[in-house]
Amino acid sequence: MIALIMAGGTGTRFWPVSRKSKPKQFLKIAGDKSMIQLTVERLQGAVEDKYIYIVTAQSQAALVREHLPQLPAENIIIEPFGMNTAPCIGLSLAYLYDRISHDESIVVLPADHVIRDTGQFLESLKQAEQPAAEGYLVTFGIVPEYPATGYGYIEAGKKYSDDTFHVKQFKEKPDIETATGFLKQGNFYWNSGMFYWKFDTIYKAFEEHMPQISALLEEIRFIWKHQNIQAGIADVYVKMPRTPIDIGIMEKAEKRAVIPVDYGWSDVGSWKALADISPTDENGNFIGKKNLVIDAKNNYIKTDKFISLIGVDNLVVIETDDAILISSKERSEDVKKVVDTLTAEKQDNLL
């Protein structure tokens, strides 16, 4: 089995800690190792290091090497610049085309997710082997804990086996009423963005459902073959449509399967999401050791300074050397708007 880990994101919702120089996947926000290190560590015993590939933007390649020195240098696949998941995965297939058997299985994982139960995670990869061998594009659906409006959903149809279902349809992020209905129906799962398939199956899916990307991949393969793997491909890659793999292929393919999983998953997509999985005191607060709390509940505070909270609830307070974020937990995803404003104002020192 080949593991392909996507690590090109910018993690804007984790500003001010996540910056261009060190995006979310390289931060120690879910343990004593960076998120990309934890993702690779999770695969131990199932995938050898020499079969783990990282696809990342040119600007992050050095960070990948720094965090994962055990991986062969040639296992880092470099995008000229970050695009979306369909171009990212497609480029990886072009890179792997002459390096692996086209009958090889590939598990595709984001670099910045949290999975608490590694044993169940590895077991789910085994469950994906049979449908993938039969030409299915397999995804992993997270058993929902609440009616989330921040995730896409997968509707499971008829059974493929006891623990696997045919995909009936994908649903975009719903409103709260729709999400509540999904939970009551009982056959809807959060879209995890993790996939398992055979190389040949997904390569043919690109040819059938995303011919524009497929044609550009052939151009890239031609450049690499007749020049070298270091040859510039930016002029070709920039023509890629910025399309997620879910929309470009998974929503269109005929043979799709979903494996429902419940192994303590989080995409840690915001400070609130991190707060939800972090250990807290008896009042629901996550705070450093130096603090004094008076009538304050459910706050997430990240600072090296002494902090006192008085009569405040559900706050996120994040301090770095040059910036402080103060937000309600429910609005913490809006930190992306701060990044957008700083970008528009060209305040690069804060990005």
Q: What pLDDT, on a 0 to 100 scale, did the predictor assign at position 155?
A: 97
Quick check: 111 and 6 in contact, CB under 8 A? yes
Please tell me whether residues 106 and 190 are part of one structural domain.
yes
Please tell me whether residues 31 and 103 are part of one structural domain.
yes
Give the count of domains, the chain: 2
Quick check: 167 and 160 in contact, CB under 8 A? no
Q: What pLDDT, on a 0 to 100 scale, did the predictor assign at position 52?
A: 98
Please tell me whether residues 24 and 108 are part of one structural domain.
yes
Q: Which helix (H) or strand (E) holds 56?
A: strand 52-57
Please tell me whether residues 249 and 287 are part of one structural domain.
no
Quick check: 38 and 77 in contact, CB under 8 A? no
Q: Which helix (H) or strand (E) holds 95?
A: helix 85-96
CB hemisphere CA count around 159 (13 angstroms): 3
Q: What pLDDT, on a 0 to 100 scale, did the predictor assign at position 211?
A: 97
Q: Which domain holds residue 131?
A: 2-266
Please tell me whether residues 65 and 98 are part of one structural domain.
yes
pLDDT tens digits for 43-88? 998 999 999 999 999 889 999 999 999 999 999 999 998 889 999 9
**How far is 271 from 333, CA to CA, in rounded Å?**
7
Please tell me whether residues 38 and 120 are part of one structural domain.
yes
Please tell me whether residues 295 and 245 are part of one structural domain.
no
Q: What pLDDT, on a 0 to 100 scale, did the predictor assign at position 315?
A: 96
DSSP-H helix ranges across 227-285? 234-237, 245, 271-276
pLDDT in tens, the chain (351 residues): 999 999 988 778 889 988 888 888 999 987 889 999 999 999 998 999 999 999 999 889 999 999 999 999 999 999 998 889 999 999 999 999 999 999 999 999 999 999 999 999 999 999 999 999 999 999 999 999 889 888 899 999 999 999 999 999 999 889 999 999 999 999 999 999 999 999 999 999 999 999 999 999 999 999 999 998 888 899 999 999 999 999 999 999 999 999 999 999 998 888 888 898 888 999 999 997 778 999 999 999 999 899 999 999 999 999 999 999 999 998 888 898 999 999 999 998 998
Please tell me whether residues 197 and 69 are part of one structural domain.
yes
pTM, to two decimals:
0.91
Please tell me whether residues 167 and 190 are part of one structural domain.
yes
Please tell me whether residues 255 and 340 are part of one structural domain.
no
Q: Name residue 5's beta-bridge partners.
A: 54, 109
Which of these three, 208, 232, 266, is where a domain ends?
A: 266
CATH number, domain with residue 147: 3.90.550.10
Q: Which helix (H) or strand (E) holds 115?
A: strand 114-115
Q: Name residue 77's beta-bridge partners.
A: 55
Handedness of CA 96, 232, 76, 340 (dihedral sign): negative
Quick check: 153 and 189 in contact, CB under 8 A? yes
Q: What pLDDT, on a 0 to 100 scale, did the predictor assign at position 269?
A: 81
Which of these three, 231, 248, 266, is where a domain ends?
A: 266
**How far is 203 from 200, CA to CA, in rounded Å?**
5
Please tell me whether residues 284 and 152 are part of one structural domain.
no
Q: What pLDDT, on a 0 to 100 scale, did the predictor assign at position 150?
A: 82
Q: What pLDDT, on a 0 to 100 scale, did the predictor assign at position 193?
A: 94
Please tell me whether residues 102 and 68 are part of one structural domain.
yes
Closest CA to 266 of 150, 138, 181: 150
Which of these three, 206, 236, 266, is where a domain ends?
A: 266
